[in-house]
Structure 1
Amino acid sequence: MSDVFEGYERQYSELSANLTKKCTTAGGLHGEQKKQKLSEIKAGIDEAESLIRKMDLEARSLQPNVKAVLLAKLREYKSDLNNLKSEVKRLVSGNLNASARDELLESGMADTLTASADQRSRLMMTTERLDKTSDRVKDSRRTMLETEELGVSILQDLHSQRQSLLHAHNTIHGVDDNISKSKKVLTSMSRRMSRNKWIIGAVIAVLVIAIALILYFKLK
């Protein structure tokens, strides 16, 4: 519910009740007093029309679900204002005699009061439905915020896990580099050992041949 619309609504309800009382009072007046009262009523009707225009602009600027409810209430206010205008026209015309005019006013006021009671009842029901709709909107907004907070928390967890995986990947990559270096060192050592074996074997072979030659010459 719009606080601005509610403010205009309160002003209109008070003004409508005041205009209804003035119409009843004007029905029993004559001459200049009646003209002055009718002038006050017309000024009040102009103010009521201004309030209705403001309520209409405010209602049309709101969300569609709220807008529909407020426009329905606004139609009832416009109907109420039209009844007041009709009452003023009857007061201004002055074509009816006093008794007929009093009877018409009493009948019109009874109908107006009955219509006002029905309108107030409908307005109360509409206001109650609007309050329920507003509560549902608030609940939906709260759920949406909670869902958003949960989504942010999940994204933060995923980001943290991604950082952990990147760190583990870098660590594994470092270990792989160390293994490659160790493999190269072992390969180099293996080659050196093979070369040393061939050298030792050659030395032994030379020594064996030398000993054999020495023995040969000594025995000969």
Structure 2
Amino acid sequence: MSEVFEGYERQYCELSANLSRKCTAAGALDGEQKKQKLSEIKAGLDDAESLIRKMDLEARSLQPNAKAVLLAKLREYKSDLNNLKSEVKRIASGNLNPSARDQLLESGMADTLTASADQRSRLMMSTERLNQSSDRIKDSRRTMLETEELGVSILQDLHSQRQSLLHAHGTLHGVDDNVGKSKKVLTAMSRRMNRNKWIIGIVVAVLVLAIILVLYFKLSK
């Protein structure tokens, strides 16, 4: 719902109710007082038409679903304005024929005023229901925004956890590399130790053989 349209709508409803009261008062006046009151009413009708045009422009600038609802309301306001104009014409026509004026005041105008009052009452009730619907939409939108913010917060937490896991994975990968290097060093050391054992064993065997030969030659002499 457009807040701009709602502002124009409130102004129109207040103006329409005020004009209706002025029409009722003008019907009971005569002479200059009546002319002055009619002049005030006509100025108010011009203001009402201006508000209708503003509401029409605002409604047509909205999305199709919102525009359809507001244009339906606008048609009721236009009908209400036409009724007010008809009342003003009937009141003004009383200046030409007093008996006709009395007849209009007693019958036609009374019916018109009653119909307009009923219509304005329906319009106000419709406006109230739409305002309640607008409030519910605003509450739903606020809930949606809060849910969206919660979702963003959860995504941020998940992203932070993912970064932590990636860092831990990188650390473990580094540890694996270090373990692999240590394993290679230990394997090389083991190979050198085995080679040194063979060398020592060969040296010992040669020394033993040399001692045996020396003893043999000494004993043989």
Please indicate the TM-score interval, normalised by the length of the shorter structure. 0.7 to 0.9
Counterpart check, 1:120 vs 2:101: no
Residue 160 of structure 1 deviates from its aligned partner by 2.1
Residue 6 of structure 1 deviates from its aligned partner by 4.2
Determine if contact 1:27/1:102 at 8 Å carries over to the other structure.
no
Counterpart check, 1:192 vs 2:172: no
Amino acid at match of 1:204: V
Determine if contact 1:69/1:130 at 8 Å carries over to the other structure.
no
Determine if contact 1:8/1:51 at 8 Å carries over to the other structure.
yes
In 1, the alpha carbon distance for the partners of 2:146 and 2:16 equals 45
Change in CA separation of 1:167 and 1:180 when aligned onto 2, cut-off 3 Å: same
TM-score between both structures, scaled by the size of structure 2: 0.81
**RCO higher in structure (CA 8 A, sep ≥6):** 1
Q: Which moved more, 1:32-41 or 1:52-61?
A: 32-41
In 2, the alpha carbon distance for the partners of 1:48 and 1:173 equals 77
Partner of 1:133: 133
In 1, the alpha carbon distance for the partners of 2:181 and 2:41 equals 102
CA-atom RMSD, angstroms? 3.0
Change in CA separation of 1:149 and 1:213 when aligned onto 2, cut-off 3 Å: same
Q: Which moved more, 1:27-36 or 1:160-169?
A: 27-36
Determine if contact 2:87/2:109 at 8 Å carries over to the other structure.
no
Change in CA separation of 1:201 and 1:16 when aligned onto 2, cut-off 3 Å: closer
In 1, the alpha carbon distance for the partners of 2:203 and 2:10 equals 119
Correspondences of 1:162-181 after superposition (within 5 Å) = 162-181=162-181
In 2, the alpha carbon distance for the partners of 1:195 and 1:18 equals 115
Amino acid at match of 1:112: T
Determine if contact 2:94/2:102 at 8 Å carries over to the other structure.
no
Determine if contact 2:83/2:116 at 8 Å carries over to the other structure.
no
Change in CA separation of 1:44 and 1:161 when aligned onto 2, cut-off 3 Å: closer
Residue 35 of structure 1 deviates from its aligned partner by 5.0
Partner of 1:149: 149
Percent identity over paired residues: 86
Change in CA separation of 1:69 and 1:110 when aligned onto 2, cut-off 3 Å: farther
In 1, the alpha carbon distance for the partners of 2:122 and 2:213 equals 134
TM-score between both structures, scaled by the size of structure 1: 0.81
CA deviation profile, 1:184-210 (whole Å, cap 9, x unmatched): 221221221122122112212211221
Counterpart check, 1:41 vs 2:41: yes
CA deviation profile, 1:152-200 (whole Å, cap 9, x unmatched): 2211221221122122112212211221221122122122112212211
Aligned residues: 220
Specify every segment of 5 or more residues in structure 2 that has no aligned partner in the other structure, as ranges.
none
Residue 15 of structure 1 deviates from its aligned partner by 3.5
Determine if contact 1:59/1:67 at 8 Å carries over to the other structure.
yes
